[in-house]
Homo-oligomer: A and B are copies of this chain.
Amino acid sequence: MAQSSPVAAPVRSRRRGEALEQAILEAAHQILREDGYSKLTMEGVAAAAGTGKAALYRRWADKDTLVTAVLQSVLPSPQQLRLTGDVREDLLLIMCCIRNAIGLTNGAAFDIVRHEGPGSGGLVHKAVGQRVLDPCRREILAVLTRGIAEGSVRPGTATPLIADVGPGMIIQHVVVVGTDVPEPFVVSVVDEVLLPLIRA
């Protein structure tokens, strides 16, 4: 792990404040991606960032607080999506947003949710659920609702259950196959599952 550290060389001039914080977050993010949540330790992050644990504990109370900060800094937000108004295109955009969120963290977001226990309302649950999963569901529902109004989507399909089908397929792929979700998989989920399910 020391070999993969972005700042393994002795640091002659000290980073302070925001610069150090960024280096720590980046180091933590890298460990999260490469080794996953369960193998991330405060000591490992400190070593990878070329600093001491005390500098971490000055900012974050514990591992999960640090990981939450990492997730909040890297998770894409579906509010930033530029939806087109085309049902297929928009579903693809949203699904790729979910896929990218997973890829950025090697599925750690889901590990954390399960580690905390669902419904625990922990900080990380909020970061992941409220930042990615819930907004994506709302976006999908909006896409379906608009499609129903335009007549291209079957009435009655704008339900949370149906909105969960796409994300469910991605989560299953993550759990069973791995966090590298190929884009063709996303496309086929939209074309062979979602569109047949919702079309008028």
Contact = CB atoms under 8 A, between A and B. Distances in A.
Number of copies: 2
The DSSP consensus for interface residues of chain A is: helix
Contacts of A193: 161-162, 165, 197
Interface stretch (A11-19, A45-53, A87-95, A166-174): A166-174
Contacts of A189: 161
Interface residues of A, number: 33
Interface string A181-196: 0000000110011001
Interface of A: 36, 38, 107, 110-111, 113-115, 117-119, 129, 133, 159, 161-162, 164-165, 167-169, 171-172, 175-178, 188-189, 192-193, 196-197
